[in-house]
Amino acid sequence: MTMITEIQQEVTIKFAGDSGDGMQLTGTLFTEDTAMSGSDLATFPDFPAEIRAPQGTLAGVSGFQLHFGSREILTPGDDFDVLVAMNAAALKANLHLMAPGCTIIANTDGFDKKNLRLAKYEDGQNPLENDSLAGFELIQMPVTKLTREALAHSDLSTKDKDLCKNMFVLGFLYWRYNRSLDATLDFFKQKFGRKPAMMEANIMALRAGYHYGDTVEAFTTRYEVKAAPLEKGTYRNIMGNEALVIGLITAANKAGLPLFYGSYPITPASDILHSLAQHKHFGVRTFQAEDEIAAICAAIGASYGGNLAVTGTSGPGLALKTEAMGLALMLELPLVICDIQRGGPSTGLPTKTEQSDLLQALYGRNGESPLPVIAAYSPADCFEAAFEACRIALQHMTPVILLSDGYIANGAEPWKFPKAADIAPIEVHFHKARDNGEPFLPYERDERYVREWALPGTKGLAHRIGGLEKEAGTGNVSYDPANHEYMVKIRQAKVDKIADFIPEQELSIGPKQGQALFLGWGSTYGVIKSVVKDLLQEGYTVAHAHLRHIRPFPRNLGELLQQYDKIIIPEINNGQLCKVIREQFLREVIPYNKIQGIPITKAELKGFARQVLGHRA
């Protein structure tokens, strides 16, 4: 039989299985390999909140979606071309997102009576055996059985052997997409260095899957996706939380300060703590505090002591940190508060994404308490956003809230990373020691209304700060009415002034004026840009602007908004940026909101846009 290789422009694969089936790892390894092959890509991991949700059930399905191609890839894909279904529940939970003609790779061992019952298929109905999947390309393989056979000579228990079945599938996909196994084999060596039997078994399962494609004569086609025309340079694959960590360490390095990270574990921010704890050789001090409040308070203490202090959390934790954020604002000390948003309110949807903490970040404190707020828009962008948050905090002596979300945090994309030497330093000044006996004025300000950072231990600067209202200049406790009003206004002016030190708002795509501006922030970047791109091709005069700085806004934002007939704001919340834009610019806006814990799809947004825009300009 002749084997042909078909070239594809782009492919979306969904890896789906039980939450114990290792789908996240399978997806991540395939993604790494895809990135190395030069494709552009975007991923979307989607998993249950339970570590091991009830086996075989619909609630227990864990998924990993990868969209890759030889052209620009901005989203993980609305639906998929290939579904890997490790059991019946995985098929049932995902089938509605597949068009006829697409491919289903099914592990037949996951479609036994018990699995079918748990997936709530009717008695006696097996989708692999009735004709319900007619129209799809159905590839059936008894993965569990084949893996056990491949490992027949291994001393591992059957339970351990079964843990390798995801590698059989991965091997098969590597065959199908004409890939080399080398990177994954290297990964096994690192991961299982101390467990040679497990390493051997994973290697055998991976190879068995690869050879299965070759030897079973059922397959006539292999596929290839060429490298994407990305900008020239050196790339790596990166996930959002990882990029954020690198951004923080880089900022500390460029500021010449030790990095302190105080945190309490919370999904989806915990990986920041895990990753920073791996970087102690960069001088990173990680402190797993007893609670969210202690985490930020310890960071405040570290900031008082001259560290670049950061705390990280998600929505419920941000709520707990509220009072301490007010303290940091009053103390006028640098601090970065990372909020990796998830579905709320309350405990909400811990593993699902949402952009619903914007108003909490902007307004969620007692008193008049403005803090700069900035947002990351993609996994790789977390690097820039984290660096920028640190820069503003250090140079303007203020706490800064950095918003990311679960989708960005766990998503991945190729990153053309910078060289250390090309990154500008962050200049930081500490108040110098003195012994002339003159009183030290801790709340004296420069032309940007910024006070100086005075470190305990510095000769001649002994001073007291605290949460009570400060007297201008001296920082002494003051209940004077006029002083309070002055201090409230100067703290606001200090934050407003930051607008002079950030870039003007640019368009990501589209003409400088026209029918509509799509205004976004955070993780909706990819979907908005790709929809606007399509609309432009269809003849609409539309543009896309994506906000990095939400407080203060870039100075030209108001003017930019005036250049378009309509302002459309897509958000994964109930219209939070809309409220802010309306309030600040007295401008009517058109919200597009999806609040389902999952990203906005391209088709949804495009459909909405066509409806709102009507005719082409």
Partner 1 sequence: MSAKDFATGQEVRWCPGCGDYSILKQVQTVFAELELNRDEVAFISGIGCSSRFPYYMDTYGMHSIHGRAPAVASGLKIAKPELQLWVITGDGDGLSIGGNHLIHLLRRNFNLNVLLFNNQIYGLTKGQYSPTSEEEKITKSTPLGSLDHPVNPLAFALGVDGTFVARAMDRDAKHLKEMIHRCHAHKGTSFLEIYQNCNIFNDGAFHTFTDKESKPETTIFLEQGQPLRFGANLEKGIRLDCFRPVVVDLEKDGLSPDDLWIHDEKDLCKAHLLARFFDDPNHREQHYLPRPFGVLYAVERPCYEDLLHEQLTTAVRQKGEGKLDELLAGSSTWEIR
Q: Which is nearer to partner 1, 30 or 121 (CB)?
A: 30
Least Å from the CB of residue 225 to partner 1: 14
Cα separation, 174 vs 105, in Å, equals: 14
Query: Interface residues for partner 1 in 21-60 (CB under 8 A)?
Result: 32, 35-38
Query: Interface residues for partner 1 in 188-247 (CB under 8 A)?
Result: 227, 230-238, 246
Q: For residues 521 and 377, is the Cβ–Cβ distance under 8 A?
A: yes
Report the residue from 91, 299, 487, 561 that binds partner 1 according to the rule CB under 8 A: 299
N-terminal to C-terminal alpha carbon distance within the chain: 54
Least Å from the CB of residue 187 to partner 1: 9
Stretch that binds partner 1, among 68-76, 360-368, 415-423, 557-565 (CB under 8 A): 415-423
DSSP letter string over 471-495? PTBT--B---HHHHHHHHHHHHHHH
Residue 183 lies near partner 1 (rule: CB under 8 A): yes
Q: Cα 408 to chain center, whole Å?
A: 2
DSSP letter string over 573-584? SSSHHHHHHHHH
Q: Which is nearer to partner 1, 348 or 473 (CB)?
A: 473
Query: Interface residues for partner 1 in 273-292 (CB under 8 A)?
Result: 279-283, 285, 287, 289-291
Query: Interface residues for partner 1 in 89-128 (CB under 8 A)?
Result: none
Collapsed DSSP state (helix, strand, coil) of residue 69: strand
Residue 305 lies near partner 1 (rule: CB under 8 A): yes
Collapsed DSSP state (helix, strand, coil) of residue 138: strand
The encoded tokens of residue 122 equal 């009717």
Residue of 574, 569, 571, 573 whose CA lies nearest to 585: 569
Least Å from the CB of residue 535 to partner 1: 28
Q: How many CB atoms lie within 10 A of CB 581?
A: 23
Laid out side by side, the sheet with 564-571 consists of: 507-509, 542-547, 514-521, 564-571, 590-593
Report the residue from 306, 343, 350, 379 that binds partner 1 according to the rule CB under 8 A: 306
Least Å from the CB of residue 376 to partner 1: 17
Q: Would you give the DSSP letter of residue 392? A: H
Residue 180 lies near partner 1 (rule: CB under 8 A): no
Number of residues that bind partner 1 (CB under 8 A): 74
Cα separation, 208 vs 213, in Å, equals: 9
DSSP bridge partners of 549: 374
Report the residue from 64, 172, 175, 260 that binds partner 1 according to the rule CB under 8 A: 260
Query: Interface residues for partner 1 in 437-496 (CB under 8 A)?
Result: 455-468, 476-477
Query: Interface residues for partner 1 in 149-178 (CB under 8 A)?
Result: none
Q: Which is nearer to partner 1, 156 or 230 (CB)?
A: 230
Strand blocks (E) in 291-388: 308-313, 335-341, 373-375
Contact letters for partner 1, residues 317-356 (x by CB under 8 A): ------xx-xx---x-------------------------
Greatest distance between any 2 Cα atoms in the chain: 93
Report the residue from 153, 159, 194, 419 that binds partner 1 according to the rule CB under 8 A: 419
Q: Which is nearer to partner 1, 331 or 393 (CB)?
A: 331
